Amino acid sequence: MGYFQGKKILVPTDFSESSLNAITTAIQIAEDPASVTVVHVMVPLDMVSPGVLFGGLTNEKRTEHVLEYAKEEFEKHQIEGVAFETLVGDPGIKLADFAKDNEIELIIIPSHGYTGIARLALGSVAERVLRHAPCPTLVLRQPKK
């Protein structure tokens, strides 16, 4: 019986291939999908895009869209039984708050391994989550090809 078996696990996702694989990994570690919570953090809405100005784009509508998208993607990757949440804001801080509020015991996060300009500009979401995390955090680094 593993150390993390049955513990509450949080997996942030941006629906990239590596983050969907991380969910599968999390289910294997927990040995039960019910203890895995998948969270998608959305960027705060900008104020000037036509969608925002004309009210066609609101956080409620975005959440709906994400839920639908998640359902499709999970089906495609045979992920079942996990809880799914959406948040809006800075991923590092929002995920840390979420983990605290929901007594998460392990965060599993994939790392894209951006390099160059993207690395400088973005920093890394994984890095930010790691810095703010209130609990053990597992970063699934991708081996360089």
Contact set with other proteins (CB under 8 A):
14-15, 40, 42-44, 46-54, 56-57, 61-63, 65-66, 69-70, 86, 88-90, 93, 117-118, 121-123
| Other CB atoms within 10 Å distance of the CB of residue 44 | 9
Provide DSSP, 7-61. --EEEE--S-HHHHHHHHHHHHHHS-GGGEEEEEEEPPPPSSSHHHHTTS--HHH
Shorter beta-carbon distance to other proteins: residue 1 or 117: 117
Shorter beta-carbon distance to other proteins: residue 21 or 136: 21
Shorter beta-carbon distance to other proteins: residue 42 or 135: 42
> Shortest approach of other proteins to residue 34 CB, angstroms?
23
